Chains A and B, each alone.
Chain A
Amino acid sequence: MNSVTATPVRESWRQLLALAMLGIAVLYLMGLDQGHMLSLFQGEIAFDQNFIHEAVHDARHAAGFPCH
């Protein structure tokens, strides 16, 4: 489409930054979160329930993330 007009440098930096933040956030939720994310909404109980961890538990083990 607009492959002729080069993206301004600042714009491409923004795109890369957005990709990095989004990618890290998604990987964090799938592989690392131990209740911190939901504690923003649920408070302290999120650390006991550890809902995200429990929900994707089997995928974490199979993909090789340290789990518990």
Chain B
Amino acid sequence: MTSAGLTKVLKAALLAGIGAGLVVAAFHMVVTEPVIDQAIAVEGQMAGEHHDEAPIVSREAQRGGLVLGFAVYGIAWGLLFTLVYQIVQRWLPPAGAPGKGWFLALALYWAVGLFPFLKYPANPPGVGDPETIAYRQGLYLGFLVLSTLATLFAIVMGRSWSGKTTPGRGNWLAGLGFFVVAMAVLYVGMPVTTDPVEQPADLMLRFRILSVTGLTLFWLLFGLGFARLVRPAAGAPMSARTS
């Protein structure tokens, strides 16, 4: 591990993260904001006079916050991607930094995006008892951490006992087996949240489809951006790419 390698990975990951975050923010600005507005209107009707006081941040400013929030989201995952890349890179496919980056981006898409979404799907405003927010955040964060550790461990398991070039088939199967069992245990074992859903079913469905589309877009763009940015400069030998 060299510091030059770290700097290069960090730069590529931060830029990829911010870029992906901004594109996803634009996506949500166009298609998800109307759904959030609708959900807030429903929430307001249900709450009645309790929600009369002026909000600390206006709806207009919250739209700006959407962009800011996703830029910060991109920075956070750029930093954490770099951390994980540095730790597990020798177990990633022997495909050069762009290929390794793609693989890790897809692994993190599963571990911190899709899988947590399947267990604890995103909710529009108006869902969730504020009294239980700390509990739900704890569950969500715990799920993210466990799902990431298990996914990374499966990758290490699938490759670690093999030589540097070709992993044995047994290892590969062991890694896959561990992955499937660990994911099943996590999915079934982690507690469900039971807050009442008080939004119309079609609004919930629309919001969730848009949310998971955004997550997918984020990690695909992240992988794409990272692979492009981390590639050696022209003239240097091209690394093998994986699709």
Contact = CB atoms under 8 A, between A and B. Distances in A.
Interface of A: 1-3, 5-7, 11-12, 15-16, 19-20, 22-24, 26-27, 29-32, 34, 49-51, 54-68
Given A56-B72, A61-B207, A64-B121, 13 more contacts: A5-B2, A7-B1, A23-B83, A26-B76, A34-B137, A55-B65, A56-B69, A58-B36, A60-B69, A63-B122, A64-B120, A66-B193, A67-B128
Q: Is the interface of B mostly helix, strand, loop or mixed?
A: helix
Give the size range of B's interface with the partner. Answer: 35 or more
B171 interface: no
A22 B207 CA distance: 31
Contacts, number: 156
Contacts of B61: 55
Given A7-B1, A11-B3, A32 B137 contact: yes
A23 to B, nearest CB: 3
A64 B40 CA distance: 16
Which 5 pairs between the two chains have the least Cβ-Cβ distance? A59-B69, A23-B79, A56-B69, A64-B122, A27-B76
Nearest to B1: A12
Contacts of A64: 113, 116-117, 120-122, 211-212, 215
Interface stretch (B25-33, B90-98, B178-186): B25-33
Contact of B2 (A3, A31, A67): A3
A51 to B, nearest CB: 6
A66 B10 CA distance: 28
Nearest to B122: A64
Given A7-B1, A66-B120, A66-B128, A56 B68 contact: yes
A61 B36 contact: yes
A62 B21 CA distance: 12
Nearest to B69: A59
A23 B145 CA distance: 13
Nearest to A63: B73
Interface string B191-227: 0010000000000000100111011000000000000
B168 interface: no
Nearest to B87: A16
A30 B137 CA distance: 13
Interface in B31-89: 32-33, 36, 55-57, 61-63, 65-66, 68-70, 72-73, 75-77, 79-80, 82-83, 86-87
